[in-house]
Chains A and B, each alone.
Chain A
Amino acid sequence: MLLSSVILVLREVLEAALLFSLLMALSRRLTISCRWVFLSLGIGLLGAAIYGFNIDIVSEQFEGVGQELINAFLQIAIYLALSVIAGLSLAHRQGRKAPPLLITVLMTLCVALAIVREGSEIMIYLSGFLAVENLRIPVLAGCAIGAAIGVSVGAVFYFLLLNLETGTARMAGAVLLLLVAAGMASQATLLLIQADWLPAQYPLWDSTWLVSEQSVTGQLLYALVGYEATPTALQVGAYVGSMLLLGAIAWCMSEIVRRRAQMPAHGGAG
């Protein structure tokens, strides 16, 4: 029980912790105050509790696939928010003043939604097992170990990003943002397949022999780049497509910020 608790909790916590670290490091790089972190934690935990406690009602919706659909929606929302954040930070790096309030709101939203999604999964898991007396200690111990490993990886990751040279950090941050966002899109696709909103397909390949999804490495890769050992064509398509879409959204956002930044200058001259 301990090991399976570790794997489940690690998977959820790691995903949220890495997103959290990435956005916090980005926030520091853009010299935006990190106070949003507390707000997002509060909203996220509250949301996770509400979602977790009402999971029975949620699951009954949409002919029994309410949970999958809501989770897919959460993933897509995080993906979209990440795309806009990428665009705004791109504009910021090109020397144009991106609105810090908008970035802060989006970052808060991203982390809060991720915590709602991952936190509710953990809550559902815990509430199922904690009722069984002799499973309580191994499950709790497993959860503690999984959560501690996840948070620790997130913390190390955050300081690693902060201590990189500016150029390297920018590149690493952009690539990670792209991968995490694509992972979100790919997971959303998987959830929609599970909900029968997208057609089920045979997996394109099976790389379990290389990295098992159940291993710690597999969990780390899942959280970081959305690794799946047996992805379907739709998932791979969503993964690649979402990367291209993110690039497009980011470019559009940076263009909008650039044009807005230029407008007052023209007004002043005229």
Chain B
Amino acid sequence: MTSIRRFLVVVLLATITLINFLATLHGYRTSMAEADKLFDTKLADVAAVLAAASIDETDAGRSPLMEHGNIVFQVWFGDELLLSSAGAPDHPIAPLRPGFADENFGGYRWRSFSRHEAAGNRWVQVAERADLRFALAEKVILESVLPIILGLPLVGLLIWLIVGRGLYPLRNLANEMSAKRSDDLSPVSEDRPPQELARLIHSINGLLRRLESAFDREKRFAADAAHELRTPISVLKVQVHNILRDSADDNVQLRNLEAAVERMERSVEQVLTLYRTAPEQFAASFVQLDLAGLARQVIADLYPQLDARQQTIELVGDTATMQGDTFALQTLLSNLLENASKYSGTGGSIKVSVERRPGVTALTVEDSGPGIPADQREKVLERFVRGDGRHNDSGVVGSGIGLAIVKHVVDIHHAEIALHDANFATGLAVTVLFPDLEKPDMKTVRRELGSA
């Protein structure tokens, strides 16, 4: 995860440090060179003062004068030492040549200056300890370098704060977006946004408007479809019922037709109820429910149908409370049970298990049908997850839609689905694992919104 703030702070601080310190180093070097020149001038001045003093042959053999600061000097008349300071060597400080030189004596390195006075044939030599003048110069220059070094942490802190302040509008926008309710598609406030964000806010508002009109269209379509489909199906149902009533003998084909129409009616109701609502709105309508109780109720509703096919059904499991949507889970259960009943055939067995495990509620529906070979399960599951039917050649109306609905309900509950062998001699077991959900939080809603 990259952070704009971290990037800006690090790169800005690094750039400032680089430029500042390289400039400081440059300043240090030129200042040191300037200080060197200054010390040289001072040395030449001392030599000039000594040359102007009336020192002549009569001064020869005088005891060395007291040491003056870091400077030593000698006054030579020919090769006779007229005067010297304490600390000066007993030989000439430097070769008797006018100008500056670097010499070693007394265990130190010295910077020397020699001056020849033609009038009295005298040589004046002055020298200063190189290490001391270097240290003195460095000390002076460091006074100006240290604040730059010590100020760097402050610069870093200020950059951190300033960049944070600069990114404030972006954080505000993010907060505003995440504080929106799942069904709130109203535009983001465009109250004097910064130039850089104006385009983004404009695009987001455009997207929200398009999303809102798409949702409206979808809702209108669902309502219209409900109206348009319910009436002809009801008419169809009544007509089939009337024909059945009027026909003298028991017409098997008409009975099948009636069952199919009933199935279609149920499927249409399920589709309309489940798809008319956006997934994130389902999350908001989740309630605490008992999955085992719900299963019992669905089994009771389906019992006449199972009984007609002489199928036995068993429910295993105690109370299993979880967060979910009652209608959606009822639909899931009835679809899975109808599927199991369909494949178990006459006299088959079905087992429904509801189990609380740490963090999940597991629902398993097993049938005693032919099952699916292990190597094909993955393929079937893929089709299943994609919302295709398990067997589209079953000839039973609504099986494809039934599995698509199962998939939709699984998605709404962020659950997972798996296929494995049933505990019967043959058969398929479908397990749905519902993770424990806290009260639907903004993160879930945003994810749902993203996928919508």
A145 to B10, CA, bound (A): 17
Nearest residue in B to A155 (C-beta to C-beta)?
B14
Q: Is the CB of B149 within 8 A of A144?
A: yes
B28:A134 contact, CB within 8 angstroms: no
A149 to B146, CA, bound (A): 15
Structural contact, B152 and A148, CB atoms closer than 8 A: yes
Taken residue by residue from 106 to 120, chain A's Cβ proximity to chain B (1 for < 8 Å, 0 otherwise) reads as 000000000000000
Known A148-B152, A159-B11; contact A137-B25, beta-carbon cutoff 8 A? no
Task: Let me know if B338 is at the binding interface, CB within 8 A.
Answer: no
Residues of chain A within 8 A of B15, CB atoms compared: 152, 156
Contact of A149 with B152 at beta-carbon distance under 8 Å, contacts A138-B138, A156-B14 already known = no
**Is B418 interfacial (CB 8 A cutoff)?**
no
Contact A159 B10 (CB under 8 A): yes
Known: A152-B17, A153-B18. A6 touches B25 (CB 8 A): yes
Cross-chain contact A145 with B142 (CB below 8 angstroms) = no
In the bound complex, do residue B28 and residue A2 qualify as a contact, i.e. CB atoms below 8 Å apart? yes
A-side contacts of B142, CB under 8 Å: 2, 137-138, 141
- List which B13-46 residues lie within 8 A (CB) of chain A: 13-15, 17-18, 21-22, 24-25, 28-29
Minimum C-beta distance from A102 to chain B (A): 24
CB pair B149 A145 closer than 8 Å:
yes
In the complex, the chain B residue whose C-beta lies closest to that of A156 is B14
Residues of chain A within 8 A (CB-CB) of B14 are 151-153, 155-156
Chain B residues near A148 (CB, 8 Å)?
A: 17, 21, 149, 152
Query: Which residue from chain B places its CB closest to the CB of A1 in the assembled complex?
Result: B138
Which residues in A have their C-beta under 8 angstroms from that of B29? 3
Note all chain B residues with C-beta closer than 8 A to A141: 142, 145-146, 149
Residues on A with C-beta less than 8 A from B138 are: 1-2, 138
**A145 and B18 contacting across the interface, CB-CB below 8 Å:** no
**B135 on interface, CB distance cutoff 8 Å:** yes
Which residues of A in the span 121-155 have a Cβ within 8 Å of any Cβ on B?
A: 134, 137-138, 141, 144-145, 148-149, 151-153, 155
Task: Tell me the smallest distance from the CB of B16 to a CB of chain A, in Å.
Answer: 9
Q: How far is the CB of B41 from chain A (nearest CB, A)?
A: 23
Chain A nearest CB from B156 CB (Å) reads: 10
User: Are A3 and B25 neighbours in the complex by a CB distance under 8 Å?
Assistant: yes
Q: How far is the CB of A190 from chain B (nearest CB, A)?
A: 27
Q: A6 to B149: give the CA distance in the assembly, Å.
A: 13
Nearest A residue to B2 via CB reads A162
Query: How far apart are the CA atoms of A155 and B13 in the complex, in Å?
Result: 9
Query: Does A216 touch B at the CB level, under 8 Å?
Result: yes
What's the Cα separation between A3 and B21 when bound, in Å?
12
Give A134 to B138 CA distance when docked, in angstroms.
11
> Which residues of the partner chain A approach B13 to less than 8 Å between Cβ atoms?
152, 155
Contacts of A6 in B (CB 8 A): 25
Question: Complex formed: what's the CA distance from A134 to B134 in Å?
Answer: 12
Complex Cα distance A3/B142, Å?
Answer: 11
| CB-based contact A134/B135 at 8 Å | yes
A149-185 interface code vs B (CB 8 A; 1 in, 0 out): 1011101100100000000000000000000000000
- Chain B residue at minimal CB-CB distance from A149: B21
CB distance from B77 to the nearest CB of A (A): 39
14 additional A-B pairs beyond A153-B18, A156-B14, A216-B22, beta carbons within 8 Å, are A2-B142, A134-B135, A137-B146, A138-B142, A145-B21, A145-B25, A148-B21, A148-B149, A148-B152, A149-B17, A151-B17, A152-B13, A159-B7, A159-B10
- What are 17 A-B contacts with C-beta separation under 8 Å? A2-B138, A2-B145, A3-B28, A6-B25, A137-B142, A138-B142, A144-B149, A145-B145, A148-B152, A149-B21, A152-B13, A152-B18, A153-B14, A155-B13, A156-B18, A159-B10, A159-B11
B residues with a Cβ closer than 8 A to A are 7, 10-11, 13-15, 17-18, 21-22, 24-25, 28-29, 135, 138, 142, 145-146, 149, 152
Q: Which residues of A contact B (CB under 8 A)?
A: 1-3, 6, 134, 137-138, 141, 144-145, 148-149, 151-153, 155-156, 159, 216
Closest 10 CB pairs of A and B: A152-B14, A155-B14, A152-B17, A152-B18, A148-B17, A145-B21, A144-B149, A156-B14, A155-B10, A149-B21
